[in-house]
Amino acid sequence: MANSASGDSVVDRVVRLIEAFPEGATSLQLTELADRSGLPLSSAHRLVRQLSGHGLLELGAGGNVRLGLRLWELVNRNSPTLALRQAALPFMEDIQQVLNQNVNLAVLEGWEALFVERLSRRGSVANRARIAGRMPVHISSAGLALMAHQSRELQAEYLEQFQDPEGKVTSEVVRHLLAEAAQLGYAQLAGVVDPDTWGIAVPVMNGRRRAVAALGVVVPLAEMRLQALVPALQTAARGIGRQLRD
């Protein structure tokens, strides 16, 4: 694979181009895309034209660049989360009907919770989780529920490298949160991301009793009913796990 003068391969540069689109942005000007990806304008233009030929990007009039439908098609056709989302959606819809609040599904990706599905309704509380969005493990109930049910080796590696960018949380605090989540069978965080909300999440276990996902809800702090929420979530998570094993 040919390298640029900087040593980056073509694959490196293509990834940088695609990653340069910020969350929620449907298009960028070519000059801005080049700047955000750290590529020379001529290189960005050449790669955009090549990717447009495959439908992965769309180059419009005036240098307007959009992510192509072909990219969405390929990702969704072969995504490893497709079976998980299909298994989880009926159970998520049931939970949402009962609570009338946000319901989300996440997987562990590195040291972050990656949200692969979310259901919400008008009037529900604020929820920072977005589909294809990420949140650090220590500020996400889904992240804590997932990490608490990983191997001791992975947890030790996570805690060893842990550092809160804001300097508010220590690795010992996170260790306690993980131990609590493992003991209780669910994770909870009150007012961490938003002061008026409470996040609760439970693990979805596979046949080997490892957490492959986390099912969570975000509810108003004033309406928190832990004794009712947790059993409903755990029942739904067991249902999703059975669907995956089947």
* Average pLDDT of the segment spanning 189-195: 79
- Tell me the pLDDT tens digit for each residue of 56-86: 999 988 889 998 888 888 877 767 788 899 9
Confidence of residue 4 (pLDDT cuts 50, 70, 90): low
* Average pLDDT of the segment spanning 42-66: 91
Q: Where in the chain is the domain with CATH 1.10.10.10?
A: 10-74
**What is the CATH architecture assignment of 79-245?**
2-Layer Sandwich (3.30)
- Is the pLDDT at 157 greater than 90, yes or no? yes
As assigned by CATH, the class of the 10-74 domain is mainly alpha
- Exposed e or buried b for every residue in 171-199, given b needs 16+ CB within 10 A? eeebeebbeebbeeebbbbeebbeeebbb
- Is the pLDDT at 139 greater than 90, yes or no? yes
* Average pLDDT of the segment spanning 195-199: 84
Which pLDDT score is estimated for 207?
77
Distance of alpha carbon 44 from alpha carbon 16, whole angstroms: 10
Which pLDDT score is estimated for 1?
41
- Entry pTM: 0.79
Q: Where in the chain is the domain with CATH 3.30.450.40?
A: 79-245
Which pLDDT score is estimated for 6?
54
The top-scoring range by mean pLDDT among 18-22, 66-70, 145-149 is: 145-149
